[in-house]
Each structure stands twice: as structure tokens, then as C-alpha cells.
Amino acid sequence: MKIFDTLTREKKEVSKKKLKMFVCGPTVYDNSHLGHARTYIAYDIIAKYLRYRGYDLSFLMNITDVDDKIINRAAETKKDPKEIAVQFEKAFMEDMKALGIGGIDKFARASDHMPEIIDQIQRLVKKKFAYETKTGVYFDITKFAEYGKLSRQNTEELKKHRIEPDATKKNPHDFSLWKKRDKSELGWDSPWGFGRPGWHIEDTAISEKYLGSQYDIHGGAIDLIFPHHEAEIAQMESVSGKKPMVNLWTHTGFLLVNGEKMSKSLGNFITIKEALKKHPAEVLRLFFAMSHYRSPIDFDENNIKQAKNTLDTIYNALVVLENIEKGPGEDVESEVNRIKAAFIEHLDDDFNTPYALSSVYELVDLVNKYASTGKKISRDSKELIEATLLEMCGIFGALRNYAPVKVTEEIRKLVSEREAARTRKDYKKADAIRSRLEKMGIIIEDTKAGIIWKKKS
């Protein structure tokens, strides 16, 4: 398997079977939005696939529950910062569950790791990578010659960014490790007095504790490369003296909404909760999987519709398959195995989900081909196709509501009666038949791909 590494800008072969992965989690000061959904769904698919391929994966995610954004939000709403953090961490967990994101072995809150954070800062100060001033403790970027290596910026380019102006710093780009604060604010005691940690140090203190000073995969959204991930490298590689901190730096691409960057001021800001009111999680997941995780994605209604139609087509293929005549018939094993091998080949190549989906469509086409020619299919082949489709779609988190529906003569009759009623615009009768079918545990949906039968869950 090959995975693209942002640091070296090339795909690297993954040779180890035991993998440790850290993905930057949310700062819990507001409801999570579609940009978060994109990143966390991508890593959910990555984790599912790595495990499917037999990798022994430990997946760690931090929760930033100590941050200026939380403190500002608390001040705006006249609430306690802790209350804000608890409220939005809960909301985040609800969103993850609703999106079907699981498989994260451990969530680690910054506030639960103050001793580790303080200890890491102390070691940086002792090794003279960091220094204390009146206002806090800062990382001295002149001590880490490779600062800028991930974002590929030289010293001059780095100077263009504006980072926390503070007159006590040695260099304008030194970032804070500890912020000295008044006792009235949220904070902890430390060797440098009362205060709170900077954002970057929270992540490396947590990842060092659970994954060690060197691990396999670090993930996050592309906009975290600078300064956040650059700072993580500087901290971790300085404190441990070991390089590289991680073998693979991975990043998810930008999310656009109707061709524009999502922002509150543009009025195109969509939270996960709002998106889930309009679209089932399965559709959202398939929509994201239709683009490569590193590519930009444009969230617009047409693209979402395409994902919905694709999902309907796949569900429909399963219904069609269930109702193809079985018997001594053709064996499709080698064809199915060829499609599955291609599916794996695509995902082994830096998780190419859009290509992998084309293998799913191939399997769907195979089903539809049998149905349209009226050929019989062997029972074993039918079971193999069904299991393979569910297995492949399971990696994307799709087909979660599938249950095979056996279309009996009675059902078939009811469905055609309903069709006839709809044609003569007798919607009352059509709806009555629909609810009768529902009572029998069957939901019918009219889609572009045809009528889909689903078992009521």
C-alpha cells in the first residue's frame, strides 16, 4: 500500500503491519461544520480500509478543550469556558455518531493532560529550544533550522505570516507554548506561573504519551499545515532529538460550498447537524468518497444529488439481484474476483476512493446485465456478489440500511397496482397501497434508478 506524504510530496510504501495514527480533533467552541465532516469521514474511511487490509491500527484523536476560541466564545455568551467545551464536545460526539464515524480508539482532551503538556514544555526549556518571558513561554524558531519544511517556506516567506504579536518574543514567529494569565481566567499552575498552554503543544504532549515520540501517520485538514503542524514537528523533533516525528503527514483537501470557501460572513456556513437534516449520512459519506481525500470538494446540491442517485442505483442492484432467477446458472466468481482486486488496487494507491467506486459500479452493471438478459445465476454467485457489494460499500460506510427483500407475488401485485394508480393520478389509492406495504415491513422509494424496495429498519 502507498500513502501520499505531504512532507516529501511523494507516495510512500507502507511496510509495517502495526500502525499508529493521530488525527487533529476539533476545537470545541461551536458546532462542527461540513469541513470537519469531510476530514473525519475521510479518516474514518482510511481507518476502515487499513483494518480491512489487515493492518493493526491504533487511532488517536485529541479534543482541544483549552483554547482562546473557547474562552472568547464563553465571554460572548457569558458562560463558563468549561461549560462551552463540554457542550460542544457532546455536540461533536453526536455528529460523529450520526455520520457513522467510529473506530477511533481514543479521544484525548487537552484539559486531562496538563502534567504531560507542562512536562514537554519543561524539557523544551531545559534543552534551550524554548524561553520564558514576562508573558509566557515561547518556542525559539531559530533553534530549529528545519522550521518551514512541511509547508516548504523559507525564513523570508515565513515572515509574511502574522503570528501572535508580542513584544517580549525574540523572533516574531516564535509561537507560544504557555500563556501566562490572570488567576481570574481559565488556567492551571505551572513552573512559569498560572496560565494555559498554546494550541500546538497540546497535540504533541498527547501524541507522545500514547503513540511515542515517533509514529506512523499524522492526519488533519490541509489548512493546519502551517503553523499548526509545522509547530508540532519543531516541538516533537526538538524534544526527542529523533527525526522524523511521523513517517507520513497526510492532509485532506479544502471544502467549498457552491464554489466558494465556506464562511459565516458569506452566509454559506453549513453545520453537520443542518446537513444531516437534509441528507442521510450515507449520502453525505458517498458524496465525500466520490472525490479523492486530497482533492478540493465542492458541496453543491447537484453534486449531492449525484451521490444520492448513485446510492439508489447500488441499493437497487441489490434488490434486482435478490430477484434474479437462481438455479443452475452461470458462475461469475472470476469476474467478481477481478472487480474486487481492482477495487483493492485503487484503494491501496493512496486511498483512491473515486476509482474504487468505479469498481462498485462495475459490479452493479454486472447485476443489471443479468437482470436485463433474463439469464439465470447460480446461488453461490448471487451470494458472492451480494457479499462483495456489501463489503466494498461498507468501507465507505454505505448500504447501512440494507436488508434483502424477497419480492413475493403478492408484493409484486401491490406494486404494479400502485404504479397503475400513480399513472392515472389516483394518489390516494397509491398512498394507501404504499402504507399497506409499509405494514408488511417494506418501504418503496421512487428513484431515477427505478423503484427501490427496502426493509423497514
CB of 220 to Zn ion, least distance (A): 6
CB of 149 to Zn ion, least distance (A): 18
Query: Closest distance between Zn ion and the C-beta of residue 200, in Å?
Result: 7
As beta bridge partners, residue 60 has: 22, 106
Q: How far is the CB of 27 from Zn ion (least distance, A)?
A: 9
Least separation in angstroms between CB 169 and Zn ion: 22
Q: Nearest-CB residue to Zn ion?
A: 24
Neighbouring C-beta atoms of residue 189, cutoff 10 Å: 11
CB 152 within 8 A of CB 8: no
- Complete DSSP assignment for 259-303: TEE--TTTT---BHHHHHHHS-HHHHHHHHHTS-TTS-EEE-HHH
Q: Is the dihedral of CA 164, 167, 170, 176 positive or negative?
A: negative
Nearer residue to Zn ion within complex by CB, 95 or 203: 203
> Strands 176-180, 195-197: parallel, antiparallel or unpaired by DSSP?
antiparallel
Specify the residue, 221 or 398, whose C-beta has the smaller distance to Zn ion: 221
Task: Identify which range of 116-124, 151-159, 197-205, 252-260 contacts Zn ion by CB under 5 A.
Answer: 197-205
| Sheet strand arrangement including 297-299 | 260-261, 255-257, 297-299
Binding of residue 61 to Zn ion (CB under 5 A): no
Residue 393 interacting with Zn ion (CB under 5 A): no
Asked whether position 203 contacts Zn ion by CB under 5 A, the answer is yes
Closest to Zn ion by CB, 124 or 332: 124
Question: Nearer Cβ to Zn ion, position 24 or 371?
Answer: 24
Nearer Cβ to Zn ion, position 203 or 312?
203
Sorted by sequence, the CB contacts under 8 Å of residue 109 that are 6+ apart come out as 62, 63, 65, 89
Q: Is 202 in the site for Zn ion (CB under 5 A)?
A: no
Which of these ranges, 83-91, 139-147, 200-208, 411-419, lies near Zn ion under the rule CB under 5 A? 200-208
Residues 6+ apart with CB under 8 A from 23: 39, 40, 43, 59, 60, 61, 104, 218, 219, 220
CB of 232 to Zn ion, least distance (A): 7
| 24 interacts with Zn ion by CB under 5 A | yes
Residues that bind Zn ion (CB under 5 A): 24, 203
